[in-house]
Structure 1
């Protein structure tokens, strides 16, 4: 779960804590943290601008020349964006500014016209496509929602002066799948009071009974159903602050009503759903099971096959939602919606889990319901959504609440023995200290002789018996404060999962012809200059030794690339014609400068090679073979032009989701010259810690295809700068589930091809899993792929 720290601060006062302290203490209290990202760390000189004029470029049809007011001056900016208009407020990066990916922008001429700065798209601001607001053009300039003071730092407007903490929430702690849940954990960890949200709703004179009725037919699968009605609804984009929080938490803004339901779900952990009341026949909601072999079309426009185990939400005539999973297309909120019925319900975790699995359909709501949700927060969540609707002035709240709660969930009272707790933990905590810890966890404690009667909040579904309190007391007291003792008894040693993966890696690289090397962890400060690493790079933040053996070994390394080049250079200068090597070793990243604590030890895999028949693709092949052995899939190569140690245009970053696994490429000629090497060398450096986390050694069986394939070859003429990945992505995106594989078999440049262009040939294999394809089906898809290639890449079929 992604938790923006700015949002977290709304519920617990942690302004006085630095990120290292917050991260380390949360980890020690049992909250597993995957990553901490500083959103604005690499952004510089991006401000709010207003478009004053737009004119056609004199020498380029696809470009326009704009005049943009950025507060202190009006800039002339040339752009190819098609979604801009006069009067819009947009993000503008000034001359000398820096984008999140490290790209620096300088003034220059585009087709002969001066462009002083650049308008920014969502992607350039570091906003992923999957969370880009639905009203923003995917490939266009990011349009701000309203007028802001010109020249204001964009980090303030888009909330980029923030850190995002990615927590790994275990299945037994569904209460932590919310901002409020993590605020509770933070409050308990640092013993800082929790600031619970204050919810007040101003209701209209109308009463909800005049608008809707609720009926629960299956009390076992639906424990509670809360409904509120909002009238005079105005559908429009939500305000920028709400969009910012949703995007930082990993959700795409849709419109104000949908965004409010998602916002409350992230904030409180209770999924909500809004129905267009005008689409509900009889203005009634009925919670009941489906019948076998019925069908229902969900919001994603997919028709689902139902059975009698699935719980549904229906009106008087039809189904309108799959309970706890997804709403129906027939009752979605649209621009024409004027009255909505807001649902906050409690559904059986087992039922939602089984339904989601059968349908192959998971949503943010089902991910929470299937782990279990406290039914007592339903009314709070419904009222919180109503409060936000009022504050945003996009609807009026109808008086009254419909709340059907047939099986009330009450707090559990569990008896625990303080002596038993101390015996198991090896501590000597007093009763007062133990009570204090339990109260920090929002538990009520009544001492009774040598026992405690503890009232457990209903949101703590994981605490059911006395032994569960051992971990709770230990983690808040501090695992690091527990005494250390050696285990007793006979035990047998075994390799850890990390050691097994490391061994597999070494065996695979040896099989690829690479020799393992081991180098010193101490390097020379000159290493960074020899690698042409910029002065402001984080890699120059190093741990310096107090008593080094000499200047050449006076600091701890933050990269293994210098060590690898030193070894390869030594071999080359001793007339070794071909060398291939790898090393798995630690780098040492200081937590702060000056160094006041032990550095972070990050394990890195470095590869290096040179020789007559070795090129970039040879190194890439070694990496791909290793990833295949480790079961790593779904990664991609992104051209990297800003790494000063590598040759521009012959370097690529390896990206896996939001993580950069590393970089591979040809070493820059200046770096080679610094190492007295006059042959091409290819080096890769991978984050081995991330590789350990994403390795999948399990093998999965896949049955052989039952139906024949149809193969079509295609040769497309495109510009030299077009990457084959762009062609392959378009083919796969438009394959309509019958395109099985796309295989490149030829790239040709010659007399028959215009200069500046190339012919790229592919073999496309089509196959369906459930039937034999016809030529007509394949031809339709194949021709559509060709059409999209022509439209998006300007490609043409080679005659």
Structure 2
């Protein structure tokens, strides 16, 4: 929320600059996002009047101007084509400074002396999408020779606040002024709410009926003899500084009060109210065109404002075209109400329509603020001579919100904060926040209705602490015995996984837990895959974040794409995060997954080696790899699934070329996704060591001719099964196809290490086992020795 500093100073007398105020408010709990000082760098720029223009003698596109700046008439050469004699414009004099540190000095342009520069909005740092191209032309009544910062209101600056949802009372200039007065201990000025009424009564012209308790209060006033036109310049300037575009005096007054007090209001053209009756009720299923010209679908969850025949506004969000104020409007109904915050927020979200009004209503405004805002608006209508206020008021307010009380012991506050604040100082600080305090054994605090966030004694302590000053509360050492926390088994295993991945040369990345359902098509996921059964987010930030992820692969591919397309050709990444599987229950099944991705001078076996290394580190029992040809995400000939104790534990392989094309990648990418829960169930935390072998090993090589379709895993399984417990290790050291190898066959060669732990093996024992291996390979796989 943008708060113009000069507007703020109308309610508090402070001899402080904008940065001092922003710093103090930050220390007392108001979060300042930014201090904007548009005119800070502008110096020696004044208003001037062009009294004479003539063409430049040596340049067709230049004009020589004589400009009156009050104390003198100076000559300036300009290339602007939107000026004429009599225009009042900003003039940068010799020695002046413009935003960005630009210095203006006198000189000559094509041989003609120029003693300054005529300024555009862009050169003054004020340009926006509505800015006029060329020199800035000021109002014809603007005095000349005056500092441009004073004319344009650039002396004060703007403080941009982030208002938290619990502080609806701060969502206004006056609310921030209240905080400023409390922070500096100065007086908050009262608003002028006085106005005159004619002898008529609004109840003779209008009836109001509230049919839903979600409208907590509804007030209405009538203004007659409306003269629709531009609002005064001072009002327009304040609105613009606060980020609101001026429209006309009627709309501007309602917006002004909304910014000033934080209470939205709306003006209806009385002639367009059918039956001269307003009904506040829940909507019907209907189409309704709002003030922005968009037709919207309403439903029964939304509050609407209606006349006797039709809907005329969406409560708390936006009015309708069928009752808007126009230049022909003569009488208006000024609506000021309080609507349920949750309902307003959901309505705004469903319609995709968030307005200045809805952003305030959704914070649950104080219903008692309605009357103050309505009186303030009437005061402005009368003061600005926009219309005549009709007597009487309609006020539907059944369940009045009353101030509540909180009791707290001063000793408890000091013990809680670690301070030694005297009771009277506590009372004074709370009174500065408009709270009434009675001192007995405890502080009995009457909390105003606009502070619904102060409910318990801890809230009171917070209010005292922030005014006392967080920065002056003494620092104390924590007292007590620190107990070292023990990591769970899962946490220890996850740390082990991270260490293993880093030691494998990978970098960790973190990705969002939600993505777009479109990514399933992007990774060519089959339409019958269970991974498409997602948990949908009820209030997503947008379609790209609308479902909870069921796999880490799409997110990892996006990270790989970002790296590879930025010329990072050798990439190795891993991500450990949860996936959310929809199992048809109230809550999804949350499972930790490990996703590994590599690209560059690598192949499938580099990826397989990383996974095998992890299996060894975790001492995973009974892990094996099987060829995978059905996974559409991966290349069918370069993919495997990981099985642990015969259960599916993950997949690894080269990403399918079609998927890579969807991510604009021409480099091969290898990805593994491992279910850590399955891995951890088979992991052994305890490490068992055995002494180095005392007995020698015997090495035998074996070369086999087998059919192409025979997997080496089947060969190794037979070797181990026939090994009788004396095979220590099997190493595949060669796979060959080519000369001397028949078509459809391949040669595979192994080194087999034989060793017994309790004796030296004899040739007879080894030959017996070795021959049994060869025989089994011949019978089961039709293998032949080479």
What corresponds to 2:151 in structure 1?
A: 157
- Greater Cα shift, 116-125 or 187-196: 116-125
* Cα deviations by residue, 1:639-687 (Å, 9 ceiling, x for unpaired): xxxxxxxxxxxxxxxxxxxxxxxxxxxxxxxxxxxxxxxxxxxxxxxxx
Q: Does structure 2 conserve the Cα–Cα contact (< 8 Å) formed by 1:425 and 1:470?
A: yes
Pair 1:146–1:207, CA change in 2 (3 A): farther
Distance 1:321 1:109 in 2: 61
Q: Distance in 2 between matches of 1:471 and 1:338?
A: 50
2:471 aligned residue (463, 480, 500): 480
Q: Matched residues in 2 for 1:63 and 1:404: separation? A: 66
1:470 to 455, 461, 470: 461
Q: How does 1:522-541 map to 2 (within 5 A)?
A: none
How far apart, in 2, do the equivalents of 1:465 and 1:334 lie?
49
Q: Deviations over 1:327-375 (max 9, x none)?
A: 2222222333332222211111011100011111111111111012111
Matched, 1:382 2:381: no
Measured against aligned partners, the alpha-carbon deviations of 1:67-111 in whole angstroms (never above 9, x if no partner) come to 543323445556676765654433333344332233334556778
Give 2:625's aligned residue.
none
Residue 445 of structure 2 corresponds to: 454
Structure 1 residue 478: Cα displacement: 1.5
| Aligned counterpart, 2:164 | 170
Range moving further from structure 2, 418-427 or 70-79: 70-79
Larger Rg: 2
Q: Which residue of 1 aligns with 2:581?
A: none
State TM-score, norm by structure 2. 0.58
Alpha-carbon distance between aligned partners in 2 of 1:98 and 1:300, rounded to the nearest angstrom: 41
Deviation (angstroms), 1:320? 1.8
Cα 1:237/1:106, change in 2 over 3 Å: farther
Q: 1:320 corresponds to which residue?
A: 312
Of 238, 242, 250, which aligns to 1:245? 238
CA drift at 1:222: 0.8
User: How many equivalent residue pairs?
Assistant: 494
Give the SS at the match of 2:48.
Answer: strand
1:357 maps to: 349
Are 2:26 and 1:27 equivalent residues in the alignment? yes
Q: Quick one: structure 1 residues 216 and 19, their matched pair in 2 at CA, closer, same or farther if it must change by over 3 Å?
A: same
- In the other structure, the counterpart of 2:323 is 331
Say which of 343, 346, 354 aligns to 2:335.
343
TM alignment of 1:478-517, pairs within 5 A: 478-487=469-478, 488=480, 489-490=482-483
- Does the C-alpha gap of structure 1 residues 470 and 334 become closer, same or farther in structure 2, counting only changes over 3 Å? same
Question: 2: distance between equivalents of 1:223 and 1:124?
Answer: 49
Query: Any conservation in 2 of the 1:159–1:241 contact (CA below 8 Å)?
Result: no
Alignment pair present for 1:93 and 2:92 = yes
Give the drift of 1:473: 1.3
Distance across 2 between alignment mates of 1:112 and 1:234:
54
Shift of 1:465: 2.1
Task: Report the Cα distance in structure 1 between the residues aligned to 2:261 and 2:26, rounded to whole angstroms.
Answer: 22
Deviation at 1:257, TM superposition (A): 2.1
Q: Give 1:402's aligned residue.
A: 394
2:14 paired with 1:14:
yes
CA distance in 1, matches of 2:254, 2:315: 16
1:423 equivalent in structure 2: 415
Residue aligned with 1:393, SS: coil
Question: Cα offset for 1:492?
Answer: 7.6
Q: Would the aligned equivalents of 1:158 and 1:240 in 2 still touch at CA under 8 Å?
A: no
User: 1:317, 1:79 → 2: CA distance?
Assistant: 60
Alpha carbon RMSD of aligned pairs, Å?
3.3
CA contact (8 A) 1:372 1:461 kept: no
The verdict on how the C-alpha distance between 1:474 and 1:52 changes in structure 2, with shifts beyond 3 A counting, is same
1:432 deviates by 2.1
Corresponding position of 1:69: 68
1:186 aligns with 2:180: yes
Cα distance between partner residues in 2 of 1:464 and 1:187: 23
Give yes or no for contact 1:53–1:68 (8 Å, CA) kept in 2. Answer: yes
* 1:10-44, Cα deviation, whole Å (9 max, x unpaired): 111112x3445433322221112222233322012
Contact 2:226 2:330 in 1 (8 A): yes
Name the CA distance, whole Å, in 2 between partners of 1:337 and 1:59: 55
Is the 2:19–2:35 contact (alpha carbons within 8 Å) kept by the matching residues of 1? no
Alignment of 1:604-623 (within 5 A): none
Decide which moves more: 239-248 or 165-174. 239-248
Per the alignment, in what secondary structure is the counterpart of residue 187 of structure 2?
coil
Q: Provide the residue aligned with 2:48 in structure 1.
A: 49
> Cα distance, 1:62 vs. partner?
7.8
Distance in 1, matches of 2:74 and 2:225, equals: 43
What TM-score does the superposition give when structure 1 sets the normalisation length?
0.57
State the alpha-carbon separation in 2 of the partners of residues 70 and 479 from structure 1.
51
1:568 alignment partner in structure 2: none
User: 2:183 aligned with 1:195, yes or no?
Assistant: no
**How far has the Cα of 1:127 moved from its partner?**
2.6
Distance in 2 between residues matched to 1:248 and 1:622, nearest whole Å: 45
8 A contact 1:53–1:86 mirrored in 2 = yes
The 8 Å contact of residues 288 and 312 in structure 1, kept in 2 or not, is answered as yes
| Residue 150 to residue 171, structure 1, CA distance change in 2 (3 Å) | same
Q: Does 1:204 align with 2:204?
A: no
CA spacing shift, 1:417–1:162, aligned 2, 3 Å: same
Separation of aligned partners in 1, 2:404 and 2:300: 33
**Equivalence map 1:267-306=2 (5 Å):** 267-292=260-285, 294-306=286-298
Does the aligned pair in 2 maintain the 1:313–1:319 contact within 8 Å?
Answer: yes
C-alpha displacement of 1:291: 1.0
Q: Say if 1:313 and 1:323, in contact at 8 Å, map to a contact too.
A: yes
1:454 & 1:320 partners in 2: Cα distance? 43
CA separation in 1, counterparts of 2:106 and 2:567? 40
| TM-aligned CA deviation for residue 310 of structure 1 | 0.7
CA spacing shift, 1:160–1:418, aligned 2, 3 Å: same
Structure 1 residues 59 and 622 mapped into 2: Cα distance closer, same or farther (>3 Å)? farther
Equivalent residue for 1:615? Answer: none
How far apart in 1 are the matches of 2:233 and 2:84? 19
- CA distance change for structure 1 residues 251 and 122 in 2, over 3 Å: closer, same or farther? farther
Question: SS of the residue aligned with 1:203?
Answer: coil
Aligned to 2:414, the other structure's residue is in SS state: helix
Deviations 1:567-604 (A, max 9, x none): xxxxxxxxxxxxxxxxxxxxxxxxxxxxxxxxxxxxxx
Distance in structure 2 (CA, Å) of the matches to 1:261 and 1:106:
46
Match of 2:365 in 1: 373
Alpha-carbon separation, structure 2, partners of 1:383 and 1:176:
20
State how far apart, in whole Å, the 1-side matches of 2:81 and 2:253 are.
Answer: 30
1:365 to 1:110, Cα distance in 2 relative to 1, 3 A: farther
